[in-house]
Amino acid sequence: MKGQNIKYFTNGLIKENPVLRLVLGTCPTLAVTTAAINGIGMGVSATIVLVCSNIVISLLRNVIPDKVRIPAFITVIAGFVSVVQMLVKAFLPSIDVALGIYLPLIVVNCIILARAEMFASKNSVLPSILDGLGMGIGFTAVLTLMGAIREICGAGTLFGLTVTAEFIDPMIVFLLPPGGFFVFGVLVAASNAIAKKNGKEIVEHLGCENCPSRSMCKSVSADEEVTVDE
Amino acid sequence: MKDMLTVSSSPHLKHPDTTSGIMLDVIIALAPAAIYGCILFGIRALLLIFTCIISAVLAEYIWCKLLKKPISIGDLSAVVTGLLLAMNLSSAVPICIAAIGSAVAIIVVKQMFGGLGFNFANPAITARIVLLVSFPSYMAEFLEPVMYDAVTSATPLVREAGAYTFNELFFGMHGGCIGETSAFLLIVGGLYLILRRVINPIIPVCFIGTVALFSLIFGENVIQQVFGGGLILGAIFMATDYTTSPTTNKGKLIFGIGCGLLTFVIRRFASLPEGVSSSILLMNILVPYINKATLTKPFGVRK
């Protein structure tokens, strides 16, 4: 049981990394990673929301009626996002300015909804916390890495400290949307290459059939039943 | 009798055209304008051209070596990409930025998508736009030609109408990117390519014609619009890239007109002074759809 719990935690770090392997939450990934510190801010905010919403949804999993589960999940998530948003506004106003609209938009971050739907609504509290933590840390790590790459290449700084800006002209394109897509693509390619080297299948189709969480996913089996009925 | 039989698998008939032959033709066609650019802008232009070519070839070599692919520098396509990129740069661009541009063109635009024949956009054009977005201060700075003291300043597109005579514009006695100044030499190169059947004249004619027509309609100075910027260079040498232009004649027509229209719209209504490269890139992205829409119907097939 203990080994299983550790697995819940480590799943989100590399094997099922939400950004690079599940390709979830790409919108904040591309939008806020113009600097490493923004990546950390976004990642930590999302992690807090993810862990808290996982706890509550896991506790309420037997109470929430199946038909209205999505609105119920969103309500829980939105509550925690409001809390986090107010905290960030009060204590880290510079992060709040940098993240802008993407902080309240954590409500519709697919990672959080996906974990609520696929994991927390089917598991008890402790695994849900560990899953939320693992996914959140995986998300934060990728966002920070992307932010660091884009900041060094695009502005010549890292966490606001000058690194290369003095002797190389930074390429501004890395701070613009095309640079974000480029770095994201290169990171996904690199993670695929590493997975392939370790003998794991690479992400080729981003649909349900290749989803690492397929075995646990309720909607896939429901869909299959529907097609059988027809 | 037995000696006369050569047993081999198909294809048995080969077209004499090879990739390196076509690329050599393109280099020959570009050479006059490139040499003129060196005369006009001096040693810096020559240095830039060599930097771009060498770094493009080197980038291709390193990439193929790293990925253990067959080394493809012999087909000369990297030389053409480097040369075209250099001709699209102002002579004020620092050497290392030009080298970055070549690396972007070869590695990011060409090799990452599968190498020659698989790139979705023209490598030189895309690299130019990446540099334009990344280093706007260097890319917008134009040095005065060293040959003609009397003629000064930036690309004629941003000057008021009538600042240049037809001869100055047509033969290239003005500032601008290294390879775009002399419309005459570029057209000579283009005619050579058309006569050698390397390129099809539909795209350049439609492209330039559309720009000229809309300039006339909107009351712009037609000669300045056509011969002043990078239009001739782009229309003849960049828009006609095989991989990134439509395969059918109807598709080429649509592609050329689309490029021309976008160029005019960007020049007239956007804040950028020059729209040729952006419009070619945008139309490159549409090429798969144009190809699909203009598929030739096989004879006798009913809808």
Q: What is the pLDDT of residues B150-175, one digit of tens each?
A: 444 556 665 555 567 777 777 777 77
Model pLDDT, residue B302: 72
Secondary structure (DSSP) of A24-75: --HHHHHHHTTSHHHHHHHHHHHHHHHHHHHHHHHHTTTTS-GGGHHHHHHH
How far is Cα A204 from Cα B6, in angstroms, rounded to an integer?
45
Q: Region B187-200: what's the mean pLDDT?
A: 90
Nearest CA among B147, B191, B194 for reference residue B172: B147
Q: Please compute Rg for chain A using Cα positions.
A: 19
Q: Which residues, 6 or more positions from B17, have their beta carbon under 8 angstroms from its beta carbon?
A: none
CA angle A58–A59–A62, rounded 5-degree value: 85
Model pLDDT, residue A166: 67
CB B135 within 8 A of CB B144: no
CB A112 within 8 A of CB A55: no
Q: What is the pLDDT of residues A176-191, one digit of tens each?
A: 888 899 999 898 888 8
For A91, phi then psi, to 5°, come to: -105, -25
Residues in chain B closer than 8 A to A172 (CB atoms): 133-136
Residues in chain B closer than 8 A to A182 (CB atoms): 108
Who among B130, B133, B135 is closest to A169 (CB)? B135
Choose, out of A169, A174, A182, A184, the residue to mutate when testing the contact with B (most B CBs < 10 Å): A169
Helical pair B249-269 and B202-217, crossing angle rounded to 10 deg: 40
Mean pLDDT for chain B overall: 84
At the second CATH level, the architecture of B20-293 is Orthogonal Bundle (1.10)
Model pLDDT, residue A226: 43
- Flag whether residue B114 sits within 8 Å of chain A, measured between CB atoms: no
Residues in chain A closer than 8 A to B100 (CB atoms): 171
% of chain A at pLDDT higher than 70: 83
Give the nearest chain B residue to A167 (CA atoms).
B96
CB A96 within 8 A of CB A42: no
- Provide the residue count of chain A: 230
CB A103 within 8 A of CB A56: no
Model pLDDT, residue A204: 58
Please tell me what DSSP assigns to residue A158.
Answer: E
- Flag whether residue A23 sits within 8 Å of chain B, measured between CB atoms: no
ipTM for this prediction: 0.77
Model pLDDT, residue A211: 61
Going by pLDDT thresholds of 50, 70 and 90, the confidence category of residue B303 is: low
CB A93 within 8 A of CB A31: no
Give the nearest chain B residue to A178 (CA atoms).
B130
Residues in chain B closer than 8 A to A156 (CB atoms): none
CB count in 10 Å sphere of residue B215: 20
How far is Cα B168 from Cα B100, in angstroms, rounded to an integer?
33
Residues in chain B closer than 8 A to A169 (CB atoms): 97, 135, 138
How far is Cα B79 from Cα B82, in angstroms, rounded to an integer?
5
> Among positive and negative, which fits the CA dihedral B27, B28, B29, B33?
positive
How far is Cα B166 from Cα B170, in angstroms, rounded to an integer?
6
CA angle B77–B82–B83, rounded 5-degree value: 95
- Flag whether residue B135 sits within 8 Å of chain A, measured between CB atoms: yes
Q: What is the pLDDT of residues B236-280, one digit of tens each?
A: 998 998 888 898 889 999 999 999 999 999 888 887 767 888 999
How far is Cα B109 from Cα B98, in angstroms, rounded to an integer?
15
CB contact under 8 A, A172 and B97: no
Residues in chain A closer than 8 A to B130 (CB atoms): 171, 173
- Tell me the nearest-neighbour CA distance from B108 into chain A, angstroms: 9
Choose, out of A171, A176, A186, A192, the residue to mutate when testing the contact with B (most B CBs < 10 Å): A171
Q: Region B275-290: what's the mean pLDDT?
A: 91
Both structure tokens of A155: 């502005």
User: Between B22 and A161, whose confidence is greater?
Assistant: B22
Model pLDDT, residue A227: 45
CA A9 distance to own-chain centroid: 14
Both structure tokens of A157: 């700084």
CB contact under 8 A, B136 and A172: yes
CB contact under 8 A, B133 and A182: no
Q: Which residues, 6 or more positions from A134, have their beta carbon under 8 angstroms from its beta carbon?
A: A8, A9, A10, A11, A12, A13
CB B152 within 8 A of CB B175: yes
Model pLDDT, residue B144: 65
Helical pair B43-66 and B19-41, crossing angle rounded to 10 deg: 150
CB contact under 8 A, A176 and B133: yes
Give the nearest chain A residue to B97 (CA atoms).
A169
Residues of the domain holding A187: 2-229
CB contact under 8 A, B135 and A171: yes
Q: Region B141-148: what's the mean pLDDT?
A: 64
- Flag whether residue A171 sits within 8 Å of chain B, measured between CB atoms: yes
Q: What is the pLDDT of residues B9-50, one digit of tens each?
A: 887 787 877 888 889 899 999 999 889 888 888 888 899 999
Model pLDDT, residue B153: 52
Q: What is the pLDDT of residues A53-101, one digit of tens each?
A: 999 988 888 888 888 888 888 899 999 999 999 999 999 888 888 888 8
- Flag whether residue B97 sits within 8 Å of chain A, measured between CB atoms: yes
Helices (H) and strands (E) in chain A, counts: 9, 2
Residues in chain B closer than 8 A to A155 (CB atoms): none
**Residues paired with A144 in a beta bridge:** none
CB B180 within 8 A of CB B230: yes
Choose, out of A173, A175, A176, A187, the residue to mutate when testing the contact with B (most B CBs < 10 Å): A173
Give the least confident one: A119-133, B2-16, B106-120.
B2-16
Segment 177-196 of chain A within 8 Å of chain B by CB: 178, 182
- Provide the residue count of chain B: 303
Residues in chain A closer than 8 A to B139 (CB atoms): none
How many independent structural domains does chain A possess?
1
Q: What is the pLDDT of residues A199-224, one digit of tens each?
A: 766 555 556 665 656 666 656 555 55
For chain B, the distance separating the N- and C-terminal CA atoms, rounded to the nearest angstrom, is 53
Who among B97, B134, B138 is closest to A173 (CB)? B134
CB contact under 8 A, B135 and A172: yes
Q: Region A94-113: what's the mean pLDDT?
A: 85
Give Cα separations from B56 to A106, B72, B105, B131, B142 (angstroms): 43, 12, 8, 15, 23
Who among B97, B100, B134 is closest to A172 (CB)? B134
Give the nearest chain B residue to A169 (CA atoms).
B135
